[in-house]
Amino acid sequence: MTLDVIGAGFGRTGTLSLRAALTDLGFGPVYHMLEVVRQPEMAADRSGVDRRAGADPRPARLSRRHRLARPPLWRLARLYPDAKVILTLRDPEQWYRSIEGTIYQVLSRPPPPGMPEAQATMARRIVLEETFQGRLGDREHAIGVFERHNREVRETVPASKLLVFDVREGWEPLCGFLGVPVPAQAFPKTNSSDEFRAMFG
């Protein structure tokens, strides 16, 4: 199985709502950080893909079983030229307030009940160290990283393969981009800050 859709948005930009929407549209199974929380063995798979930077990561379990990858794996687009890329966006100030009160709080303390140390270590390495250089608590630095990432995706992915998407826009732009009918049900809205904090204690 190849990758059909690659999600390029940072956490706290509606990625879990997008995951639910893509699943509803038949683009599943979807690889999301939530899978790492639920399936400990995937932490090793994710780390293996990351370590092969510059090499072809297609032999990894990710590409055999899942139809959507998330950053920093969005660069897999160069290996899957037919894949479509979705960049979920959010106002930078709102995004930082959300990530500061959720992901940063969870990764800055011992793993919550139910999360093995291997998963927490992988998440800290990818998010805190590699993405934000250990400075996620620095608002200006974090927003700068966020904006540079979004700019890089826009400059790298061909416009015909890229959807810049605010999940508040709902089904129409997403379905138009993917070439599928608009469902009758409401667009999924999940993983609010309160839901995130409840999930991780």
What pLDDT, in 10s, does the model give residues 76-102? 778 888 889 999 999 999 999 999 988
Q: In the CATH hierarchy, which fold is given to the domain comprising 5-199? A: Rossmann fold (3.40.50)
Name residue, tokens 């409401």. 186
Residue 190 has pLDDT above 90, yes or no: no
Q: How far is CA 92 from CA 48, 88, 142, 150, in A?
A: 31, 12, 9, 11
Indicate the pLDDT class of residue 121, thresholds 50, 70 and 90.
confident
What is the rounded average pLDDT for all residues in the chain? 78
Give the pLDDT confidence score for residue 73 in this predicted structure. 66
pTM here is 0.78
Give the pLDDT confidence score for residue 59 in this predicted structure. 31
Beta strand extents in the chain (DSSP E only): 5-7, 68-69, 84-88, 162-165
Show the 3-state SS of 34-90: HHHHHCCHHHHHHHHHHHCCCCCCCCCHHHHHCCEECCCHHHHHHCCCCCEEEEECC
Q: Which residue has the higher pLDDT, 62 or 98?
A: 98
Q: Which residue has the higher pLDDT, 59 or 136?
A: 136
pLDDT in tens, 125-160: 888 898 999 999 999 999 999 999 999 999 999 999
Indicate the pLDDT class of residue 38, thresholds 50, 70 and 90.
low
Residue 18 has pLDDT above 80, yes or no: yes
For the chain, give every domain's residue range: 5-199
Q: Which residue has the higher pLDDT, 93 or 191?
A: 93
Q: Which residue has the higher pLDDT, 71 or 17?
A: 17
